[in-house]
Amino acid sequence: MEKAYINGEKLAVQEESCYDRMKELKAIDDTKAGVKGVADTGLLYIPRVFVRPPEELAEEEKLLLVDKSEIHEPMIPMIDLEEMENRRKEIVNEIRLASESWGFFQLLNHGIPETVMDKMIKGVANFHEQDTEVKKQFYSRDFTRKVMYQTSFDWFQTKSAKWKDTLICSMLSPDLLDPRELPDICRDIILKYTEHVRILGDTLIELLSEALGLEKDHLKDMDCTKSLRVLGHYYPACPQPKLTMGAHKHTDPDFFTLLLQDNIGGLQILYQNHWIDVKPIPGAIVVNIGDLIQLMSNAKFKSAEHRVLANQVGPRLSVASFFGTAAMKSSKINGPIKELLSDEYGKDQPVYKNVTVPEYMKHYYSKGSDGVHALSHFEL
């Protein structure tokens, strides 16, 4: 039987008996034109591979029926780094509170010029909007490549495909990327933006370390900023945004992420069982705590679940800078930091097993975006 509507949204009609999901996924992947290539066809109804499962959509519909007119939606913490040397203790305390309760906060006066931020957003747009024949040379699912673009890492795994494309640049691993590997159309701005992001990353890891009550170099000495991947996300305008997602609910498998987003919005964080908008603020950088800091802090700091809504307006553009260890092939053991296993934090026993970064990454990427927090697999 044909199924033409879900929650009032019309679907591209196709007989159940002849529908081959993997065939459709492969057909889109083989074009190397990404989700943008799908959107550029001018379709009225999104392909079925992007449609979320009926149970997900039904749950979402329930949330939309809730009257929010009298609900006060809390704001993501905003932290100003201006005059940091004079206000360092105050800033450290603000970061501690935000990392414990939210796992997300926005930074102002962080040192990255707005002109550089604007040019970086434009550079990502230029890459994704260039001729497909030029762009497709970077299309790959080989994660040993330092520069590539693709639809999503779990394209063939998830119950519904994400409505986005991503340019992935491994800028530091731990050696600097050879600039000649970057796309010509955005090479200069990626290099310039990365310079500023690395400086901010080094500052932030010190502040996070102090916020945990450790010496400022403690986390840095544990190689928490030895690698840096810069991801340029492109979310095309979607004709049926209620049926799909730009990014499903997930956490980040790094130490922390710095996010630059444009003015369209769509990023949401799960806070106290409610989805809260991370509203774009001109000049701000969004920070979110990653899984590895939650593990090493023995759950004192929170790696919050977040997602990105699809939108009829677009494209939406964002740049996520992931800081992590370069020990992707290392047998080095990571676990709760022993200095944090004390009654002072109310957790004198480790919450998580010791694990190597390769073990953690293997589990994270093999499970895909299934809505289950990857850290739960390593709880004691």
C-alpha distances (whole Å) from 201 to each of 70, 77, 132, 207, 369 are: 39, 19, 33, 10, 26
* pLDDT at 2 exceeding the cut of 50: no
pLDDT reported for residue 326: 67
Q: What pLDDT does 351 receive?
A: 86
Banded pLDDT at 247 (limits 50, 70, 90): very high
Q: What is the pLDDT of residue 1?
A: 32
Task: Provide the 3-class DSSP secondary structure of residue 134.
Answer: helix
The CATH code of the domain at 21-63+77-378 is: 2.60.120.330
Look up residue 211 and give its two tokens. 């916020």
pLDDT tens column, 278-323 = 999 999 999 999 999 999 999 999 999 999 999 999 899 999 999 9
β-bridge mates for residue 105, sequence order: 287
Domain definitions of the chain by residue range: 21-63+77-378
Report the distance separating Cα 157 and Cα 264, nearest Å.
28
| Distance, CA of 350 to CA of 339 (rounded, Å) | 11
pLDDT in tens, 11-42: 555 555 678 999 999 999 999 999 999 999 99
